[in-house]
Amino acid sequence: MRNLPLLSMLSIALFGTGCSNLDTRPLPRPTSVDVPRFMGDWYVIAHIPSPPEREAFDAVENYALRPDGRIQTTFTYRKGSFQAPLESMHPIGKVEAEGNGAVWGMQFFWPIQAEYIISWLDDGYSQTIVARTKRDYVWYMARTPQVSETDYQRAVERIKDMGYDLSKIRRVPHTDRLPPSID
């Protein structure tokens, strides 16, 4: 029964009544995304967070291809401090036919899928920005827990150019180590 409030929060957070930006321009996206190459660990460097992520520390998103072609996602984080226990969420991603690997549906619970658009990806698959058309949530992620200040500022500028309100951006605190995985 403990999961019921979390499901309600996720439902409201991902699909709910929150105000979103009125920008209706299509989001940018790479010409194509090599989905197998995109798999693995991504540290959340900065975000406009959904409610469960608002106090995240050491936030890491891990993607793994399943035999059925869907993507097993494990999001681990510490709520409120580096000393907090690890928590996790396990949505399932589905690469949509449109978008050449850049458009996914992310399912936290059946039957609803949240939009997930890889809006920017560097050539080395070491940094990415995941966005939503509603401009309500965004995630800047990297393969390492820290990025240079120059890279960070460039990412924030890209997010701004996509039509996001930068006053809502939160930089995620990270230790320099990968949190141990949760099963």
- Residue 182: band (very low, low, confident or very high) from pLDDT cuts 50, 70, 90: very low
Helices (H) and strands (E) in the chain, counts: 3, 10
- Measured distance CA(58)–CA(43) in Å, rounded: 8
Q: What is the pLDDT of residues 36-79, one digit of tens each?
A: 999 999 999 999 998 889 999 999 999 999 999 999 999 999 99
From the number of C-beta atoms within 10 Å of its C-beta (0-12, 13-18, 19+), residue 53 rates as buried
Rounded to whole angstroms, how far apart are CA atoms 154 and 156? 5
Statement: residue 170 has pLDDT above 60: yes
- Given a contact cutoff of 8 angstroms between Cβ atoms, the answer to whether 141 and 128 are in contact is yes
Q: pTM of this prediction?
A: 0.84
Band of pLDDT at residue 180, cut at 50, 70 and 90: low
DSSP state, residue 153: H
DSSP of 30-58: -S---HHHH-EEEEEEEEE--GGGTTEEE
Residue 113 has pLDDT above 80, yes or no: no
Beta bridge partners of 73: 63
Asked whether residue 10 carries a pLDDT value surpassing 70, the answer given is no
pLDDT band per the 50, 70, 90 thresholds, residue 108: confident
Summary mean pLDDT of the chain: 86
Q: Which domains does the chain have, with CATH numbers?
A: 3-16+29-171 (2.40.128.20)
Cβ neighbours for 22, distance < 8 A, ≥ 6 positions apart: none
Composition of the chain by helix, strand, coil, percent to 5: 20, 35, 45
